[in-house]
Amino acid sequence: MLLAREAAIVQAVNRLLAEKGFDLMTVDEVAAEVGIAKASLYKHFSSKEDLAAAAMVRVLGLAQEFMVTLAADALPIAQLRAVACWMLQQQLAGEMPSLPSQNSSLRANLMGNKAYLDGLMQVSDQIGLWIEAAQKDGSLNPATPPLVVLYSLYARACDPVPGFLKAGGQYTDAQIVDIVLETCFDGLKAR
């Protein structure tokens, strides 16, 4: 029962973070969303930062589960595109938490959270291997530092463009994913 309640809390946090972002989400909203008292919520998570960290740990776990399903013999660029596609799909489905890049209390909490750091390192290490392999085989520009490529891919998870395109109603989710992947991987130059 305790684990089921925590899962419901984290799922609500994840959705609220995707919808509102960290700064606008409140602990009161989370409790109301789950249908529990605020005091009960604090029995599971001691702060708003802990709630956000739990949501990020969940997303990193889902990313790891997804990455394991990718064909090991696929081209590295195909694996990178698949991960970026998954991130965009999660975002469009309202399942990708939106966290501020500059929040000292949240950042400190995340940097002190072993599960978050372990998950982030595992995901980053695998993506890093694919980046280096794609640069080696010429699929990605070898002059671009791998860390820049990694951060550019991570930026797709919080890219505002998919939300703007979805709100405009002119494109399906699949079309939005294709458009963003094209600009991410192929750039904006004419072919």
Q: Give the start-to-end residue ranges of the domains of the chain.
A: 48-185
What dihedral do alpha carbons 113, 119, 125, 128 form, nearest 10°?
-100
pLDDT in tens, 3-29: 888 999 999 999 899 888 888 899 999
- The DSSP code sequence of 105-138 is HHHHHHHT-HHHHHHHHHHHHHHHHHHHHHHHTT
pLDDT in tens, 107-130: 888 999 999 999 999 999 999 999
Full-model pTM: 0.88
Structure tokens at 114: 């072993």
CATH code reported for the domain at 48-185: 1.10.357
